[in-house]
Amino acid sequence: MNAADHQQNTTSMVGIIMGSRSDLEVMSEAVDILKELGVAHEVTVVSAHRTPDRMADYAKGAQGRGLKVIIAGAGGAAHLPGMVAAYTTLPVIGVPVKSRNSIDGWDSLLSIVQMPAGVPVATVAVNGAQNAGILAAQIVGTSDPAVSARLTTYKTALRNKVEEGIQAMRQHYPNGFDR
Ligand code: RP5
């Protein structure tokens, strides 16, 4: 079974939610990396302010539906990740989105990262949806050896890319370390 088949035939492990459809451009990076890593996932809009009942229902039902982790992205007064974390014991990864109503991403970041004691949200960088996807895959990988193996391959590719850069740079800028 390839990665795509695996995702289609399996219960979603990761729920990706966002406060608005306008967040999708940023949040699609989480979708893309989870596809690449072969982690079954679902994607939808859940707004803390505009659809509060939907938010509560989604968060309360997530574990029962088989999700292992939730990625929540929002911008501005970004209450979605924290409020979802209030309703579930699943790990919640927050993505601060630099949205059109945001003060350069700072309000999004601080709204998500400054959670009160007892209700953590694992917050990634502003617009850091790719890292949110990788972190979610790493959580799933703690109990799924196939996902863990694909993460190892992914990290090896990262290292190889850097090493290619080192070799290319060496041609022009020899140094005493890379002999
Ligand atoms: C937040 O407000 C959303 O997460 C989005 O980042 C921002 C703007 O939403 P729209 O006005 O584009 O729907 O709740």
- Judged against a pLDDT cut of 80, whether residue 179 lies above it is answered with no
CB within 8 Å of 116: residues ≥ 6 apart: none
The rounded Å distance from CA 9 to ligand 1 centre is 32
114 CB within 6 A, ligand 1: no
Q: For ligand 1, pick from 21, 23, 51 the residue to mutate: most ligand atoms within 8 Å of CB.
A: 23
Lowest-confidence region among 7-21, 50-64, 148-162: 7-21
pLDDT one-digit tens code per residue, 52-109 = 999 999 999 999 999 999 999 999 999 999 999 999 999 999 999 999 999 999 999 9
The rounded Å distance from CA 177 to ligand 1 centre is 49
Nearest CA residue ID for atom 6, ligand 1: 75
> What are the beta bridge partners of residue 122?
93
**Helical (H) or strand (E) element with 66:** none
99 CB within 6 A, ligand 1: yes
The rounded Å distance from CA 118 to ligand 1 centre is 27
115/77 Cα distance (integer angstroms): 13
141/174 Cα distance (integer angstroms): 40
The rounded Å distance from CA 130 to ligand 1 centre is 19
Q: For ligand 1, pick from 18, 20, 50, 100 the residue to mutate: most ligand atoms within 8 Å of CB.
A: 20
**Helical (H) or strand (E) element with 71:** strand 69-75
Lowest-confidence region among 4-8, 100-104, 161-165: 4-8
Sheet (strand 69-75) strand order: 41-45, 14-18, 69-75, 92-97, 122-123
